Amino acid sequence: MAAEVRAFLEVRRRLQSALLVVGEPKEGGLPLDVSVRWSSLQVRSPEGCTDVQLPAEVRLAPSTCGGLQYVPGDGLHLRLQACAEPCPKLISVFNQSPQAQEHYTFYCQSCGDVIIRDSRRLLRVLPLPSANWASLVEEWCCHPDPFAQKSLHPGHGDCFVGDTFYLVNLRSQPCQDPKANTKVICKRCKVTLGETMSPETTKFYMTEIIIQPSERSFPVIPRSEFVQSIVGQRLGELASARSTFRFLIQGQDGRVFILLWLLNSDSLVIEALRSSRSVTKFPLLEETWRTDSTSARNAVKVLYQPCTKSRNEKLAREWESDISVHTVTLPSASCLELLLILSRSTATLPVSLRRMNSFQTEGEPQRPAVCSVGIRCKERTRAAE
């Protein structure tokens, strides 16, 4: 007889360590007998026995188990050494790294409609400098700024890659006002995809479009899975390139939605035998969690504070004036989607791992931040293997 027991395992690839949390049976059946093996776990309780097989890329070291403690309402916690294979490369639809000299088609991620009708050949794919590059040039130059009154706009066949957007050369309608920024909206689903920066330059946000080589099919990806994959990937890349770990997530209008603190990006999270009754469901997001098998997913681990409904205004102002905080701009609707994703991810963690008291606002009511491990890059399941 299989008992209804939840097991949560977080493996840190770089540290080669793991945290194992074995939840109490729903009926509160104690004692628990937990057996740790190289590739599996076994939990015995008065209600029965549960065997959990780990993914093939994960190996535990049973002899290193230590730090055993019981957390009321949470279950048994213990730490041990573990090893996991290097993080696999993200599939192309998540990575979205266009290569020069290839023909591409731009699609709306929400509905799949073709945004740029003609197959576009990209002659150059170049990264953009940071948003404050012009002010930095003034500090570096001892003579008049050679780039004064010049802006970086892509030419014919160019694609410039920013923090969370692409700039492409796309001639707009002749009647368009070149001085006004105009939203680019999908004609089919009415989702905001980006904005026009000039009569020929269009900005597309990475969370809203899919860039694929022409005449090549791609899988349909649930919206929430796509957003968290893109955001998780970009946070890791920005943290490495800019040497920062704090991010301010804001909408197109400059409104701050989330304060985000990146902890690590090398986690592998494994959850097993979670009852479908305990899964928090959001009707606006697809249910992508597996409830019938052990699932492993690569994840980034973050602390975050929501800034909606006038919350954390003082802290947001402090972060905005801090040069070590990097601002990430997304469409407002995507910012709200990301906030829902973070909330749902937090709800799936063991209770004791959902908050950290060290992330508080001085001078304001102490609101510990929520620890989330749910921004996924890729999911693998034993059933799929």
Residue 93 pLDDT class (50, 70, 90 cuts): very low
Q: Tally Cβ neighbours within 10 Å of residue 152.
A: 15
Q: Tally Cβ neighbours within 10 Å of residue 376.
A: 21
Cα dist from 365 to 54, 178, 312, whole Å: 42, 47, 9
Residue type for 226, please? F
Determine the pLDDT at residue 327: 93
More confident position, 248 or 274: 248
Phi first, then psi, for residue 82 (nearest 5°) are -155, 160
Query: Residue 182 and residue 176: Cα distance in Å, rounded?
Result: 9
Determine the pLDDT at residue 203: 92
- What ranges do the domains of the chain cover? 7-84, 92-213, 226-269+286-381
Query: Residue 110 and residue 335: Cα distance in Å, rounded?
Result: 15
- Name the CATH topology of 7-84: Immunoglobulin-like (2.60.40)
Determine the pLDDT at residue 292: 41
What is the tens place of the pLDDT at every residue in 274-287?
443 333 333 334 44
**What strand order describes the sheet that includes 192-196?**
124-127, 158-161, 165-169, 201-205, 192-196, 182-185
Average pLDDT, rounded, for the chain: 76
Residue 212 pLDDT class (50, 70, 90 cuts): confident
Residues facing 84 on adjacent strands? 58
Q: Helix/strand/coil (H, E, C) string of the chain?
A: CCCCCCEEEEEECCCCEEEEEECCCCCCCCCCEEEECCCEEEEEECCEEEEEECCCCEEECHHHCEEEEEECCCEEEEEEEEEECCCCCCCHHHHCCCCCCEEEEEEECCCCCECCCCCEEECEEEECCCCCHHHHHHHHCCCCCCCCCCCCCCCCCEEEECCCEEEEECCCCCCCCCCCCEEEECCCCCCEEEEECCCCEEEEECCCEEEEECCCCCCCCCHHHHHHHHHHHHHHHHHHHHCCCEEEEECCCCCEEEEEEEEEEEEEEEEECCCHHHCCCCCCCCCCCCCCCCEEEEEEEEEEEECHHHCCHHHHHHHHCCCCEEEEECCHHHHHHHHHHHHHHHHCCCHHHCEECCCCCCCCCCCCEEEEEEEEEEEEECCCC
pLDDT at 56 over 80: yes
Of 9-13, 87-91, 283-287, highest mean pLDDT:
9-13
Determine the pLDDT at residue 62: 92
Any idea how long the chain is?
385
Residues facing 267 on adjacent strands? 12, 299
What is the tens place of the pLDDT at every residue in 154-210?
888 888 888 999 999 876 444 444 455 588 999 999 999 999 888 888 999 999 998
Selection from 162, 163, 129, 160 nearest residue 147 by Cα: 129
The alpha carbons of the chain give a radius of gyration, in whole angstroms, of 23
Token pair recorded at residue 11: 């493996």
